[in-house]
Amino acid sequence: MEFGKLLKELRNKKGISIKKLAPELGLNYSYISKLEHSKVYPSPKVIKKLSHYFNYNSDELMLSAGKMPEDIGKILKNNPKEAVEYLRRKFGSGSPKR
């Protein structure tokens, strides 16, 4: 799910408005609105705050924001062939792209 939609869903489930959420996170309410409308994307620091506040998996939030968790990036960088082969075998297309 796209980050903005996910954030809005999490906020609505908790029953909190953007204006009430913003000061609890130390953020500007207009920034949160921009996040929800995909006008801006969050930094890893903001993702961590949101993950903690909503008790939601930070890796899933990172990926929904188009960012890679740091440890996963290292795995891919250090083991590119094995990682890609595994992911394709487990979840994907099967044949490598050329």
pLDDT in tens, 10-60: 999 999 999 999 999 999 999 999 999 999 999 999 999 999 999 999 999
Spatial separation of the C-alpha atoms in residues 32 and 82, rounded to whole Å: 38
Under 8 Å between Cβ of 58 and 51 = yes
Reduced to 3 states (helix: H, G, I; strand: E, B; else coil), residue 68 is coil
88, exposed or middle or buried, with CB in 10 Å at 0-12, 13-18, 19+?
middle
- Threshold 0.95, pTM exceeds: no
- Domain map (residue ranges) of the chain: 3-67, 68-98
CATH of the structural domain 3-67, one choice from 3.90.660.10, 1.20.140.10, 1.10.10.60, 1.10.260.40: 1.10.260.40
